[in-house]
Structure 1
Amino acid sequence: MKQGKVWLVGAGPSDPGLLTLKARSVLEEAEVVLYDSLAGDGVLALIPPGARRINVGKRAGHAQMPQEEINKTLLEEARQGNRVVRLKGGDPFLFGRGGEELELLRAHGVPFEIVPGVTSAIAVPAYAGIPVTHRDFCSSVHIITGHLKDDDKPHIDFEALTRLDGTLIFLMGVGALGVICRSLMDAGMSPDTPAAVLEKGTTADQRRVVSTLKALPADAERQSIATPAIIVVGRVCALAEKFHWAEDRPLGGARVIVTRPRSLASGLSKKLYALGAEVVEIPAIQTVGIENNNELQAAIKRLNEYQWLVFTSQAGVDVFFDILRRNRTDIRCLAGLKFAAIGTATEKAIADRGIFVDCMPATYDAASLGRALAEAVKPGEKLLIPRARIGSPDLTAALDRQGISYDDIPVYDTVYESGGVPPLDEMLKTRRIDYVAFTSASTVRGFASMAGAADFEKLTAVCIGEQTAREAKKLGMKTEVSDEVTIDSLTAKIAALHQAAKA
């Protein structure tokens, strides 16, 4: 049996952009992942589809799995030869009980590595516009656990803290906010000292309440501040009004679900993330090339019969050229063929192979492609159309009307995904979802199959094309359609909707 190993990985405060390069690399190779409730949705979405996922659910003193059981599970999974990732919110060694989890592994000779993470103590204030140090205000920062003990009192030397004249960061302390503020004042800190409580930092739901040490508990209660949240005490809190930035971005405060296949999601996700959105990738479909595709292989052997090669998706391009490569068929066999693409993404996929497109419709849908080909194809020319097994009939209908000869050959299947982390049905019940981005009717159907009995009427579907929007409307979703059938236009539509909602 192969040697198992455990990685204790800091997931950061939530924003997947704050996950370190090493953490992401280790996570992508994981076979088993034990994760906390504090690991962000976007980070959890990076867990490989084939990895076994174990939710240990630790948050604010409530554990879905007791710590001792977590320790034993890590040991057992590693002993079975697995690559085990223990994914912990923030940093595993900062009030994360990482040391406890290592003791049992060390005692049994199980190899492990530590991957430090960005701590919420620094990142969350930064996302709220609060620098934890500033030469005009303080020269030190102190991180304290605010977790209450059994006697409902934090075991903290408050008098020592007041003498430090630095920024105080209390983690896991929102339940003890009143006790902390009162204890600091009893120890001699001025009631007028700036203080803040920061909720769900680095997410689309982040909120800040900036006040004074005396007024903060009442102000936080009025705003119904809840966990996870951190408390910041010190003069630097006054800078939040001047330095706030996260919510000011075009998509600041927006949570967007991206449903594209995993291999295609990154382009859209990066554009949305760059505008400030919290992006959760939940691929609703995947494209699977048809194995032992005798029909396509036969067509490739008689390419001299065709004058046009027509692609309706990037996936079709990828599968077709992959089959050429696997069959050791030289790309020079395509010499003399004219190429057609349904839209810019497909055009780019063809161009990446060093081939320029001869025909592309102004409107990127199957019917428009059929009409464009009807005008471009000369009498007697024949088309090869490698595409999805279930392709739009609008393309071939337009060709049939003109009597154009073609071979419509399926090269891949569209398969609905079975689930993800976080589970979609759970997310829709527990999270505010502002927009769901759909790039095809099949992604809508795949999303619906994953969501179970969700209330789709609460969702805003932002769709590429009217055909995709019609599918979303069948589920009762509120639908918006991008002005053009492009990823840039889809991104712009989401940004415009969000700006209008904030106005």
Structure 2
Amino acid sequence: MSEKGCVILVGAGPGDPGLLTRKGLEALSQAEVVVYDHLVSREILELIPAEARRIDVGKTAGRHPIPQPEINRILLEEAQAGHRVVRLKGGDCFLFGRGGEELELLVQNGIPFQVVPGVTSALAVPAYGGIPVTHRDFCSSVHIITGHKRADGALSLDYEALVRLHGTLVFLMSVSSMGEICRGLIAAGMDENTPAAVIERGTTPAQRKVLAPLSGIEKEAAAAAVSPPAILVVGPVCSLSEELDWFDRLPLKGLRVLLTRDEGAQKRLVPVLEQLGAQVFSAPMIRTVFRDFDPEVLKEPGPVIFTSAAGVEAFQRVLWSQGLDARSLAGKTFAAVGKGTAAALEAMGIRADFIPRVYNGLEMARQMVEEGFLRPGDSPLLLRGNLASRELPKVLEEGGIPCREVVVYDTLPLTPEELPPEFDAAVFTCASCVRSLEKALPEGALTGKTALCIGPRTAEAAREAGMNIQMAEEASADSLITLVKGMTL
């Protein structure tokens, strides 16, 4: 904490976390206190450092639990206490965001501040809806107007001036005032057949769009139960929406996908899903607890077999705790069940001597024997988790190759504090995740949902839970990504 605090106003953009600027992300990563609004997306809130204190001052339409003067005071007091404060605001800080009001009190009290502009929904949301706000064939100007009514319920707009502009009109915060706006524009001389669009939750996987002539857009939006946040766009450019819409054409647009492993285990999958239009939720269903074991077992001859990357991590932890590293393993041979486990070994400076063609324990055991990696009389060391299948050691024992098994980590079920209310598909990398999720939900809740699975045991557990199975060709992250890219809904 610095002797004198400061405040950084950061525009978080319209919702898509990819639209947060690099400078905004940098400010957020260094924050000690984050004061944020209701419109800041969940994905961006997840970027807040774990050690930073969060203060929710969110407002919704017609509900302001923390008045603006109180927000101003919070910023001042936190900065006066010496904290580095990030004021995180949806869209852009200065476009109907009251950023200027918040800075005035800081100036009066000598608090240093910075402003990081954000991508405004007035431009980004139409772009995600296939609407170019200017186009040489239609208009040469765009005008951004607030549809937010004053405290007395009045909406003071010069409709005749807006009509004379002959430009694209973008109304923010306009759901409740949409009818009044449309009637005002028509009364001022705008053609009632002028194309219009309402876009709800723009730039997010939950985005919805309603298109209609100006005279009918209010009725169509009401029929679709459009709710804030949403914007109203009026102008001939709206006629291009269906032709130029790219976001709604993404193959997984609107699909709600639950990841059931921790972020580290599935982080490569998140950007792939989001780029395809899916809405991603994370709710780890298991946790890994590493065990200690006696490294003396490594002194006995025989290959070392790993059936998971977690086993490799547990192995490395024990080595390092004893002051050992890869140099102490000279002469040892290593087998890894798949590419991910082999990559974990490579991070330790160890190259796997054997990787099966099919990434599961049963096939690994068969191929190690068939290809001569293991022979009768060998005494391999199997480092694994407490819930690992008995198939691998059973096959080896039947072939006259008994294993020395050491459990180096425990897989424990987790009950997340919060599960998404609805999801369409879930990604599973182990059977334990399936069983934990099934227990955390009401009976039958998984029936009919899609399961994206690594490995036959995981797929079987999901099938028993009543899910529709799509299984990766290989038990690897790359294969799972390939499955996602080609998945059918």
TM over 0.5: yes
Matched, 1:433 2:419: no
TM-score normalised by structure 2 residue count = 0.86
How far did residue 325 of structure 1 move?
5.4
Conserved in 2, the CA contact under 8 Å of 1:45 and 1:281? Answer: no
Partner of 2:244: 243
* Matching residue of 2:375: 378
Deviation track 1:170-225 (CA, whole Å, cap 9, x = no partner) reads 11001111111111122222222221111121222212222222222222223222
Residues 80 and 377 of structure 1, relative CA distance in 2, 3 Å threshold: farther
Within 1, Cα distance between the matches of 2:380 and 2:81?
Answer: 54
Query: Would you say 1:334 and 2:329 are equivalent positions?
Result: yes
Identify if the C-alpha distance between structure 1 residues 490 and 330 changes in structure 2 by more than 3 Å, giving closer, same or farther: closer
Q: CA deviation at 1:124?
A: 0.8
**1:435–1:48 CA distance, 2 compared to 1 (3 A):** farther
Which residue of structure 1 aligns with residue 472 of structure 2? Answer: 482
SS in 2 for 1:461: strand
Q: CA deviation at 1:244?
A: 0.7
1:102 deviates by: 3.4
1:358 is aligned to 353
Deviation at 1:444, TM superposition (A): 3.9
- CA offsets 1:406-452 (integer angstroms, 9 cap, x no match): 44344445466675xxx733x31xxx422221222344456568779
Partner SS for 1:382: coil
Q: Within 1, Cα distance between the matches of 2:258 and 2:151?
A: 41
SS of match in other structure, 2:475: coil
Number of the residue aligned with 2:90: 89
Which letter maps to 2:380?
Answer: L
Q: CA–CA distance in 1 between the matches of 2:68 and 2:436?
A: 37
Equivalent position of 1:67 in the other structure: 68
Q: Which amino acid aligns with 2:270?
A: S
Give the corresponding residue for 1:465. 455
In percent, how many aligned pairs have the same letter?
47
Which structure has more helix as a fraction of its residues?
A: 1
Residue pair 2:2, 2:84 contacting (<8 A) in 1 also: no
Counterpart CA distance in 1 for 2:58 and 2:139 is 37
Question: What one-letter code is carried by the residue in structure 1 that aligns with 2:338?
Answer: G
- The SS at the match of 2:180 is helix
State the partner residue of 2:189. 188
Secondary structure of 2:264's counterpart equals: coil
**Equivalent AA in structure 2 for residue 379 of structure 1:** P
Contact 1:265 1:281 in 2 (8 A): no
Unaligned runs of 5+ in 2: none
What corresponds to 2:126 in structure 1? Answer: 125
1:22-61 equivalence runs, <5 A: 22-61=23-62
Aligned CA distance change for structure 1 residues 107 and 493 (closer, same or farther; 3 Å): same
| Alpha-carbon contact 1:314-1:345 (below 8 Å) kept | yes
Cα pair distance change 1:385/1:103, threshold 3 Å:
farther
Deviations 1:432-481 (A, max 9, x none): 42222122234445656877999545754322234334555676655544
Paired position in structure 2 for 1:116: 117
Q: Deviations over 1:12-57 (max 9, x none)?
A: 2122222222333333444544433322233233344454444433
CA deviations 1:229-260 (Å, max 9, x no partner) are 10111121111121111121222222322233
Question: How do 1:59-458 residues align onto structure 2 when only pairs under 5 Å count?
Answer: 59-78=60-79, 82-287=83-288, 289-290=290-291, 293=292, 295-299=293-297, 302=299, 305-321=300-316, 324=319, 329-352=324-347, 355-375=350-370, 376-388=373-385, 390-414=387-411, 424-425=418-419, 427-428=420-421, 432-444=422-434, 455-457=445-447
Deviates more, 1:219-228 or 1:313-322: 313-322
Contact 1:159–1:187 (CA<8 Å) still a contact in 2?
yes
Matched letter for residue 433 of structure 1: F
Cα distance in structure 2, aligned partners of 1:489 and 1:390: 23
Q: Which amino acid aligns with 1:468?
A: T
Secondary structure of the equivalent of 2:102? Answer: helix
Write the deviation string for residues 308-336 of structure 1: whole angstroms up to 9, x where unpaired.
Answer: 12222223334434654565535333333
Distance 1:368 1:27, change over 3 A: farther
Q: 1 CA distance for matches of 2:415 and 2:74?
A: 25
Q: Look up the SS of the partner of 1:185 in the other structure.
A: helix
Gaps of 5+ in 1: none
Q: Distance in 2 between matches of 1:243 and 1:52?
A: 42
In structure 1, C-alpha distance between the alignment counterparts of 2:477 and 2:182, rounded to whole Å: 49
- Is the deviation greater in 224-233 or in 150-159? 150-159
Asked if the contact 1:34–1:86 (Cα under 8 Å) also holds between the matched residues in 2, the reply is: yes
Larger deviation: 186-195 or 102-111?
Answer: 102-111
SS state at 1:175 partner: coil
Determine the C-alpha separation between the residues in 2 that align with 1:219 and 1:350.
58
C-alpha change, 1:108 and 1:443, in structure 2 (3 Å) is farther
SS at match of 1:113: strand
- Residue by residue over 1:145-166, the C-alpha shift from the partner in whole angstroms, topping out at 9 and shown as x without a partner, is 1112244332222222222222
C-alpha contact (below 8 Å) 1:441/1:469 kept by paired residues: yes
Give aligned pairs, total: 486
For residues 471 and 440 of structure 2, what CA distance do their matches in structure 1 show?
Answer: 23
- Partner amino acid for 1:128? G
Q: CA RMSD in A?
A: 3.3
- Counterpart Cα distance in 2 of 1:224 and 1:85: 34
